[in-house]
Amino acid sequence: MRKIYILASIALSLSAGGLKVEPVTDREMVQACEKCHFVYQAEFLPERSWERLFTEQNLKNHFGDEVKLSSSLREKFLDYYLNNASDSKDTKYRRKINRSIPLNSTPIRVSRVPYIHSKHEDLPKEMFLDNPKVGSYSKCNSCHDAKKGIYDEDEVHVPGWDKGFFTGWHRIDD
């Protein structure tokens, strides 16, 4: 009995230590990004990426949109992102993200970070692109409780799709 209990608590603590990243909670910051999408967490990209995303010039053309920020809010974002980026601290999860990014590249999409990309590349594309409730690999919060920073594979809910023990991921009406 005792052994089972110990094993169970090890398993639990391993999964609990899984894919939870620190959510952004500052109201001013949340509101600024949530006009368009949830606020991506700092540890998904290295410092050089956040610097690139937040230059005044790049904010004027942010994936085809303009992000309007006061200079104090822009500074606040930069300060936060640089202090929490994937290469700002040596934590287990940051290390995984950071090691996957070649040093000579400066990704501006979390979805294209090799570690994140590798988690989705074997899943059916229709789950993302042709899914009317998703539409893009960037919409983490369609399937993950991303605003809270929860990306654990056991807590994924894909709209219109289900995961069977034997069948794997399939459309609900299949």
CA 149 – CA 41 distance, rounded (Å) = 7
CA dihedral sign of residues 50, 53, 59, 63: negative
Binding site for ligand HEC (CB under 6 A): 18-19, 32-33, 35-37, 39-40, 53, 62-63, 65, 67, 77, 109-111, 116, 119-120, 123, 127-128, 134, 136-140, 142-144, 151-153, 156, 158, 163
How many whole angstroms separate alpha carbon 87 and alpha carbon 101?
A: 10
Q: What is the DSSP letter of 43?
A: G
What torsion do the CA atoms of 141, 54, 48, 115 make, to the nearest 10 degrees? 10
Of the pair 6, 118, the CB lying nearest ligand HEC is at 118
Residue 105 CB, nearest approach to ligand HEC (Å): 14
Q: Among residues 102 and 164, whose Cβ is nearest to ligand HEC?
A: 164
Q: Of 89 and 125, which CB lies nearer to ligand HEC in the complex structure?
A: 125
